[in-house]
Amino acid sequence: MAVAVPLHEIRAEFAELDDPVDRTTYLIEIGRTLPPLDEHFKTEENRVLGCQARVWLVAEERAGPPRRLDFLADSDAQIVRGLIAVLLAAFNGKMPAEILAFPIDKLFAELKLPALVPMRSNGLTAMVRRIQAIAKVAAASEPPAKADSESLPLVPLKPLAREDRSRGNGHPREEQKPLLPATIVTGQPQAASPIDVAAIRRDFPILQTTLADGCPLVYLDNAASTQRPKQVIDSMVEAYEHYYSNVHRAGHRLAVESSAHYEAARESVRQLINARSPTEIIFTPGTTAAINLVARSWGDTNVKAGDEILLTMMEHHSNIVPWQELAQRTGCTIRWTPITDDYQIDLDAFERLLSPKTKLIAITAVSNVLGTINPIDQMIEVAHAAGAVVLIDAAQAVPHEPIDVRARNVDFLAFSGHKMMGPSGVGVLYGREELLDRMPPFLGGGSMIKRVTTEGFEPADLPYKFEAGTPVIVPAIGMGKAIQYLQKIGMQSVRAHELMLTRQAHALLADIPGLRILGPEPEHKGGIVTFVMDGIHPDDISKALDLQGIAVRAGHHCAMPLHERLGITASTRASFYLYNTVEEVGKLAAGMREAQRILGR
Among residues 416, 446, 466, the one where a domain terminates is 416
Query: Are 352 and 411 in a shared domain?
Result: yes
Helix (H, G, I), strand (E, B) or coil at 393: strand
Among residues 359, 385, 416, the one where a domain terminates is 416
Query: Are 70 and 203 in a shared domain?
Result: no
Interval 507-511 mean pLDDT: 96
Interval 398-404 mean pLDDT: 97
Pick the range with the lowest mean pLDDT from 85-99, 116-130, 208-222, 546-560.
Answer: 116-130
Q: Is the pLDDT reported for residue 447 higher than 60?
A: yes
Q: Residue 3's pLDDT is what?
A: 67
Query: Are 570 and 519 in a shared domain?
Result: yes
CATH code of 590's domain:
3.90.1150.10
Taking only the tens place, the pLDDT of each residue in 557-571 is: 999 999 999 999 999
Using alpha carbons, select from 576, 580, 555, 575 the residue that is nearest to residue 77.
555
Give me the percent of the chain exceeding a pLDDT of 90: 72
> Which residues lie closer than 8 Å to 568 by C-beta, 6 or more apart?
532
Taking only the tens place, the pLDDT of each residue in 273-290 is: 999 999 999 999 999 999
Interval 375-397 mean pLDDT: 97
Q: Is the pLDDT reported for residue 169 higher than 70?
A: no
Residue 301 is part of which domain span? 287-416
Q: Is the pLDDT reported for residue 193 higher than 50?
A: yes
412 assigned to some structural domain = yes
Interval 408-430 mean pLDDT: 97
Burial 282-319 (b: 16+ CB within 10 A, else e): bbbbbbbbbbbbbbbbbbeeebeeebbbbbbbbbbebb
Peptide bond before 463: cis, by omega within 30 degrees of 0? Answer: yes
Total tally of structural domains belonging to the chain: 3
Q: Residue 409's pLDDT is what?
A: 96
Q: Residue 113's pLDDT is what?
A: 80
Q: Considering the entire predicted model, what is its pTM?
A: 0.85
> Which residues lie closer than 8 Å to 103 by C-beta, 6 or more apart?
149, 154
Taking only the tens place, the pLDDT of each residue in 9-55 is: 999 999 998 888 888 889 899 999 999 899 999 998 898 876 778 89
Q: Is the pLDDT reported for residue 88 higher than 90?
A: yes
Query: Are 362 and 504 in a shared domain?
Result: no
Query: Are 18 and 144 in a shared domain?
Result: yes
- Residue by residue, DSSP assigns 294-332 as HIIIIIHHH--TT-EEEEETT--GGGTHHHHHHHHHH--
Q: Residue 239's pLDDT is what?
A: 97
What gap in Å lies between CA 601 and CA 596, rounded to an integer? 5
190 assigned to some structural domain = no
pLDDT band at 229 (very low <50, low <70, confident <90, very high): very high
Q: Which residue has the higher pLDDT, 7 or 185?
A: 7
pLDDT band at 122 (very low <50, low <70, confident <90, very high): low
What single letter denotes the amino acid at residue 481? K
Catalytic site includes residue 215: no
What single letter denotes the amino acid at residue 106? K
Helix (H, G, I), strand (E, B) or coil at 460: coil
Q: Is the pLDDT reported for residue 251 higher than 90?
A: no
pLDDT band at 2 (very low <50, low <70, confident <90, very high): low
Taking only the tens place, the pLDDT of each residue in 462-500 is: 999 999 999 999 999 999 999 999 999 999 999 999 999
Query: Are 498 and 567 in a shared domain?
Result: yes
Taking only the tens place, the pLDDT of each residue in 341-366 is: 999 999 999 999 999 999 999 999 99
Query: How many CA within 13 A on the CB side of residue 417?
Result: 33
Query: Are 146 and 291 in a shared domain?
Result: no
What is the residue-averaged pLDDT of the chain?
89
Per annotation, catalytic residue among 51, 215, 332, 558: 558
Do 116 and 86 touch, CB atoms closer than 8 A? Answer: no
Query: Are 103 and 205 in a shared domain?
Result: no
Pick the range with the lowest mean pLDDT from 189-193, 205-209, 267-271, 389-393.
Answer: 189-193
479 assigned to some structural domain = no
